[in-house]
Amino acid sequence: MVNFSDRMDGIRASDIRQLLKLTQQPDIISFAGGLPAPELFPVEEVNAAFNAVMAENGRVALQYGQTEGYAPLRKHIANRLAARNGIHTDPDHVILTAGSQQGLDFIGKLFLNPGDVVVLESPSYLGAINAFKQYQPKFVTVPTDENGMIMEELDRVLATTENVKLIYIIPDFQNPSGRTWPLERRKQFLDIIGKYGVPAIEDNPYGDLRFKGEFQPALKSLDKDELVIYFGTFSKILAPGFRIGWICASEHIIEKVNLIAQAAVLQTATINAMVISKYLDMYDIDEHVAKILPVYKHRCKLMIDTMRETFPEEAKFTDPDGGLFTWVELPDYINTRELAAVALEHKVAFVPGSGFYPNGDVNNGMRLNYSCSTDDRIVKGVQLLSDVIKGALR
């Protein structure tokens, strides 16, 4: 009866969110989510931090606050960006967001007119694609190999495409592929975007979750042209339930993000920012991350080893150095959206790959999450999935 806006034509339910609902039945082994392991959440420490905030400053915590977010937390973030990521920033160039997803919405809103082009890795994060779709852009994808985006292809795309307003990338343990860019590619990338003057979102939710291989510097730490808009979050290193992430960018971008945040949401939750800030005062978050890493390393290895043992050779998969995901590619003739329905009947779930391709033209990928399953369920689930895949082979 009522008429919705034109943008709603392009906005559909996310495969992941729909799947997450189905997979809450305990008899289903789900590799579909992107959930951190809840048994590792520092519940007691968070509770202690909350109690301290309420005792010291409860009325401030429950009141409205400033749009850019609680200043001591932004200072913590700036300090940690310098210490761990080599990013030297003024805390005033950091704004809190309700998770990185809200950052994607804000940056899409900031840059995109209908018909503008967003450049993405192929595949790229489904949630980013969905966030940008709200602003009716065109998507142009750049092919990737085992080292991430292929820079010659990026150069070619930027040389031959008009109205490129934004590039979106995840250089560390990409979602969905689990791949990481080596240093050389990072430098090439910055040279190329500098040449064309195109801003880029460096989304880095997983960077701290490296359990093998060598640290790679953030693009933002090497960015002389102030084109990199860096996204971080507490969702994967502390807890997603707070919905606290951040954007770090140069002043002329951050001040515009602030205007959008004012108009769209006023501010992130005061109390959440204060509790995380107090947690960082009271505890060493790097010690906490150090407890997560061996668990994820073990689960990743167990999943990869079991896939090596049981998957047919037609299934290719990545062996990530960190993060939450591995990515499987099946023969072209297998549509993993159909396969996911069969898998659910066999009580195992994954996210079919087509949602990670903005133009929906690749259908043989599968994203598997290993961070949130027990050993038993990883082995059993991979075995079930292996049978499902074998049943689909010609």
Q: Are strands 117-122 and 325-329 parallel, antiparallel or unpaired?
A: unpaired
3-state helix, strand, coil in the chain (%, to 5): 50, 15, 35
* Binding status of residue 162 toward a copy of itself by CB under 8 A: no
Question: How far apart, in whole angstroms, are the C-alpha atoms of residue 384 and residue 379?
Answer: 9
Which residues, other chains included, contact 167 with Cβ-Cβ below 8 Å and sequence gap of 6+?
Answer: 118, 119, 120, 154, 193, 198, 199, 200, 201
**Radius of gyration from C-alpha coordinates of the chain:** 21
Ranges within 303-332 binding a copy of itself (CB under 8 A): none
81 binds a copy of itself (CB under 8 A): no
- Choose one: 97-105, 181-189, 281-289, 296-304; the region binding a copy of itself (CB under 8 A): 97-105
Q: Establish if 379 lies at the interface with a copy of itself (CB under 8 A).
A: no
Interacting residues with a copy of itself between 196 and 225 (CB under 8 A): 197-199
Task: Give dist(CA 386, CA 141) in Å, integer.
Answer: 30
Closest CB 238 distance from a copy of itself, rounded Å:
8
Among 94, 119, 149, 227, binds a copy of itself (CB under 8 A): 227
Shortest distance (Å) from residue 105 CB to a copy of itself: 4
The Cα 28–Cα 165 span in angstroms is: 42
Q: From 31-39, 84-92, 309-317, 327-335, give the range in contact with a copy of itself by CB under 8 A.
A: 31-39
Q: Which of 80, 96, 104, 82 is nearest to 221 (CA)?
A: 82
Look up residue 250 and give its amino acid. S
Choice from 216, 270, 306, 336 touching a copy of itself (CB under 8 A)? 270
* Segment interacting with a copy of itself (CB under 8 A) among 129-137, 207-215, 283-291, 294-302: 129-137
Does 374 bind a copy of itself (CB under 8 A)? Our answer is no
Q: Is 119:260 a contact under the CB 8 Å cutoff?
A: no
One residue of 5, 146, 162, 376 binding a copy of itself per CB under 8 A: 5
The residue from 127, 207, 323, 358 that contacts a copy of itself (CB under 8 A) is 127
- Residue 244 CB, nearest approach to a copy of itself (Å): 8
Continuous H helices in the chain: 15-22, 43-61, 71-85, 99-111, 126-133, 151-160, 183-196, 251-265, 270-282, 285-310, 336-345, 375-392
Residue 314: Cβ-neighbour burial (10 angstroms; 0-12, 13-18, 19+)? middle
Looking at the Cβ atoms of 105 and 329, the one nearer to a copy of itself is 105
Site for a copy of itself in 33-72 (CB under 8 A): 33-36, 38-39, 41, 43-44, 46-47, 50-51, 54, 58-67
Cβ proximity to a copy of itself, 170 vs 392, nearer residue = 170
- Taking CB under 8 A as the criterion, the residue among 85, 93, 111, 296 binding a copy of itself is 111
Q: If you ran DSSP here, which 8-state letter would residue 16 be given?
A: H
- C-alpha distances in angstroms, 231 versus 103, 217, 241, 277? 7, 14, 18, 18
Q: How far is the CB of 292 from a copy of itself (least distance, A)?
A: 13
Which residues within the stretch 244-263 sit at the binding site for a copy of itself (CB under 8 A)?
Answer: 252-253, 256, 259-260, 262-263
Residue 109 engages a copy of itself in binding (rule: CB under 8 A)? yes
The minimum distance between CB 234 and a copy of itself, in angstroms, equals 10
Q: How far is the CB of 310 from a copy of itself (least distance, A)?
A: 29
Rounded to a whole number of angstroms, the minimum distance from the CB of residue 375 to a copy of itself is 19
Q: Which is nearer to a copy of itself, 17 or 308 (CB)?
A: 17
CB-based burial, 3-14: b 16+ in 10 Å, e otherwise = eeeeeeeeeeee
> Nearer to a copy of itself by C-beta: 50 or 311?
50
What interhelical angle do 285-310 and 375-392 show, nearest 10?
40
DSSP 190-222: HHHHHHHT--EEEE-SSTT-B-SS-----GGGG
Q: Nearer to a copy of itself by C-beta: 29 or 260?
A: 260
With CB under 8 A as the contact rule, the residue among 21, 26, 313, 332 that binds a copy of itself is 21
